[in-house]
Structures are given as structure tokens and as C-alpha cells.
Amino acid sequence: MNIDSITNGIVIDHITAGNGMKLYELLGLGELECSVAIIKNASSGKIGKKDIIKIDADIPVNFDVVGFVDPNATINIIKDGVLVEKRNIEMPEHLVNVIKCKNPRCITSCEQEIDHIFKLTDREHNVYRCIYCETKAN
């Protein structure tokens, strides 16, 4: 398989195998006009198998989304074909309008202008809960 290198853009690397598509959807990468490559189940000496996303454009990436989906992922910023920055990601304390509360009785279900806000309640088990009704995010 041959995936070209990118000149200016972002590579999200070390995504736990199977999480690449979820990240692709939550970041809205399908709406971009630029080339986006998703590599699934690539070999990794560090974690066994991993997913990789390459975005061939210098766009803003919501690091909170990446940290929510996979806090072990890394973000590589490429400029003029050279790696200029490598960021390790952490789980965000709060998520705002990244995911929606599934509780039909939550205020966010009937009040559409209210932000969907989730708070990290258990870092060890990656648990986020709605700040309004405390429903656990899936």
C-alpha cells in the first residue's frame, strides 16, 4: 500500500486500532475538500496495531475530540514536508458540543440552544458524564 506524504497538513498517529473512523466522524473530516487518508490496522511496534489519519491541509483540529476518542494519540504538524511540531494529547476535563446526551429526559433534549457539556468524572476508565443529568457518555 502506498499513501503519499503530505506537504502541509496534519497526521494523527497512534490512534488505537478501530478508533480512526470514530475520530474521522467526530472531527467532520468527510466535509473537507482536501485529501484525507485513513489507514486502519497499521503495524505498530509501540501498540501492536494502530490507525492513522492524514489530512492534506493546514486546518484547525479540535484536540479535545482527539483526547476524548484516544488520549494516547499524537498529532504531527507538517509544514513544507517537514515535521515542525509533535503534540501528545490528554483527555480534556470538559467536552462542549462534541457528543450529545442520550437521556431523553435531559434538559438538552428539549432546550435545543443549550450546549451539550460533559465532564470527565473518571480518568482511569475514560468516563464522561453530562453536567445536567449525569448520564454517562458512551
Domain ranges of the chain: 9-88, 94-130
pLDDT at residue 3 in the model? 65
Q: Residue 60's closest CA among 5, 110, 9?
A: 9
pLDDT at residue 112 in the model? 83
Q: Given a cut of 80, is residue 2 above it in pLDDT?
A: no
Q: What mean pLDDT is predicted for residues 61-73? A: 91
Q: What mean pLDDT is predicted for residues 118-123? A: 95
Task: Kindly calculate the radius of gyration of the chain based on its CA atoms and give it in whole angstroms.
Answer: 16
Q: In this predicted model, what pLDDT tens digit does every residue of 5-22 receive, in sequence order? A: 788 999 999 999 999 999
Q: Given a cut of 90, is residue 133 above it in pLDDT?
A: yes
**Whole-angstrom distance, CA of residue 52 vs CA of residue 19:** 9
Q: What mean pLDDT is predicted for residues 123-138? A: 93
How big is the chain, counted in residues? Answer: 138
Please indicate whether residue 81 or residue 128 has the higher confidence score (pLDDT): 128
pLDDT at residue 1 in the model? 56
Share of the chain above pLDDT 90, in %: 72
Predicted structure pTM score = 0.84
Q: Give the number of other Cβ atoms within 10 Å of residue 33's Cβ.
A: 6
Q: Under DSSP, is residue 48 helix (H, G, I), strand (E, B) or coil?
A: strand
CATH of 9-88, one of 3.40.50.1460, 3.90.850.10, 3.30.930.10, 3.30.70.140: 3.30.70.140
Q: Given a cut of 70, is residue 95 above it in pLDDT?
A: yes
Q: In this predicted model, what pLDDT tens digit does every residue of 25-47 receive, in sequence order? A: 999 998 988 889 999 988 877 77
Residues ≥6 apart with Cβ < 8 Å to 134: none
